[in-house]
Amino acid sequence: MRTLAGTRSLGQAALALAIALFLGLFLVVPVTTVIYVAFTEKGGGALTLINFLDFARTELFVRSFWNSVYVSAMTVVWASALALPLAYLTTRFEFRGAMLVQTLGFLPLVMPPFVGAVAMQLLFGRNGSVNLLLDEWFGFKIGFMEGLNGVIFLQAIHYFPFILVNLSAALRNIDRSMEEAAQNLGSHGLRLFRRIALPLALPGYIAGASLVFVKVFDDVATPLLLNVKEMLAPQAYLRITSIGIDDPMGYVISVVLIGVAVATMWASALVLKGKDYATTQRGGGGLARRKLKPRESFLAYAVVILILALVLAPHVGLLLLSFATVWSFSPLPDGYTLAHYARVLGDSSVYIKNTLLYSSLAAGIDIVIGGAIAYLVLRTKLAGRQWLDWAASTALAVPGIVLGIGYLRAFYGVKLPDGTPLATLWIVIVLAIAIRRLPYALRAAYAALQQISVSLEEAAENLGATKARTVRRVVIPLMTGGLLAGFVTSFATAAVELSAVLMLVQSNSDAPLAYGLYVLMQTPAGRGAGAALGVIAVVIVAICMGLAQLAADRSQRVRGLDI
Partner 1 sequence: MSKPAKAVGIEIAGINLSYGATHVLKNVDLTVRPGEFFAFLGPSGCGKTTLLRLIAGFAQAQTGQVLLDGQDVAPLPPWKRDVGMVFQSYALWPHMTVAKNVAFGLEERRLPRAEIDRRVAEALDLVGLAAFAGRRPAQLSGGQQQRVAVARTIAIEPKVLLLDEPLSNLDAKMRVSVRRELRALQQRLGLTTIFVTHDQEEANTICDRIAVMDAGTIRQVGTPMELYESPANLFVASFLGSANILGDGDGISVPAGKRLVFRPQHATLSSVAGATLRGPVTHREFLGATVRYSVRIGGSEILVEVPFQSGGELRTVGDMVGVALPPERMLFLPA
Partner 2 sequence: MVRLSTFTVGLTLGLILAAGAAFAQTGKVTVVTSFSKDVTDPLKKAFEKAVPGATLEVQNRNTNAGVKFVEETKANNQVDLFWASAPDAFEVLKAKKLLSPYKPKAAGIAEKVGSYPVNDKDGFYSGFAASGYGIMWNERYVKANKLPTPKEWQDLTTAPYFDHVSISAPSRSGTTHLTIETILQGEGWDKGWRTTKEISGNLRQVTDRSFGVPEAVNSGQVGYGIVIDFFAFSSQGAGFPVKFVYPSVTTLVPANVGIVANAPNKAGAEAFIEFLLSPTGQEALLEPTIRRLPVRPETYAKAPADYPNPFKDKNLQGLLTFNAELSESRSAAVDTLFDQLITFQLEPLKAATKALHEVDAALAKKDNAQARALAKEARDLIAVMPITAAQAASPEIRAAFSGGKEKSARQAELEQQWAAFAKEKYAAAKAKADEALKLAR
Among positions 276-305, residues that touch partner 1 (CB under 8 A) are 277, 279, 281-282, 288
Residue 350 touching partner 1 (CB under 8 A): no
Phi-psi domain of 70 (left: phi exceeds 0; alpha: psi -120 through 50; beta: other): alpha
- Contact flag: residue 185 with partner 1 (CB under 8 A): yes
Contact partner at residue 187 from partner 1, partner 2, none, CB < 5 to 8 Å by partner kind: partner 1
Which residues are within 8 A (CB) of 354 and not within 5 positions of it... i.e. 6 or more apart? 426, 510, 511, 512, 513
What Cα–Cα distance (Å) separates residue 552 from each residue in 441, 445, 486, 541, 558? 15, 14, 10, 16, 10
Query: What angle (nearest 5°) sits at the alpha carbon of residue 508, between those of residues 504 and 509?
Result: 105
What angle (nearest 5°) sits at the alpha carbon of residue 309, between those of residues 292 and 124? 145
Q: Return the one option of partner 2, partner 1, none that residue 507 interacts with (CB less than 5 to 8 A, by type).
A: partner 2
Other C-beta atoms lying within 10 Å of the C-beta of residue 298: 11
Question: Pick from 182, 362, 398, 431: which binds partner 1 (CB under 8 A)?
Answer: 182
Per-residue x/- marks for partner 1, 259-278, CB under 8 A?
Answer: ----------------x-x-
Is residue 220 within the footprint of partner 1 (CB under 8 A)? Answer: no
Binding range to partner 1, per CB under 8 A, among 186-194, 254-262, 381-389, 505-513: 186-194
Compare residues 97 and 189 and give the one whose CB is closer to partner 1: 189
Chosen residue from 44, 186, 294, 419 binding partner 1 by CB under 8 A:
186
Separation between Cα atoms, residue 506 and residue 522, nearest integer Å: 18
171 binds partner 1 (CB under 8 A): no
Residues 6 or more apart whose Cβ sits within 8 Å of residue 112: 496, 498, 514, 517, 518, 534, 537
Which of helix, strand or coil describes residue 134?
helix
Q: Does 191 bind partner 1 (CB under 8 A)?
A: yes
* Helix residue ranges, H only, 380-525: 385-394, 400-411, 426-450, 454-462, 467-470, 476-494, 499-504, 513-520
Kindly tell me which residue out of 33, 40, 177, 555 binds partner 1, with binding defined by CB under 8 A: 177
User: According to the binding rule CB under 8 A, does residue 181 interact with partner 1?
Assistant: yes
Q: Which is nearer to partner 2, 146 or 180 (CB)?
A: 146
150 interacts with, out of partner 1, partner 2, none, CB within 5 to 8 A per kind = none
Identity of the residue, 230 or 553, whose beta carbon is nearer to partner 2 in the bound complex:
230
C-alpha distances out from residue 201 to 17, 240, 275, 417, Å? 35, 41, 10, 55
Chosen from partner 2, partner 1, none, partner binding at 181 (C-beta under 5 to 8 Å by type) = partner 1
Under the rule (CB under 8 A), what is the footprint of partner 1? 175, 177-178, 180-188, 191-192, 195-196, 199-200, 202, 275, 277, 279, 281-282, 288
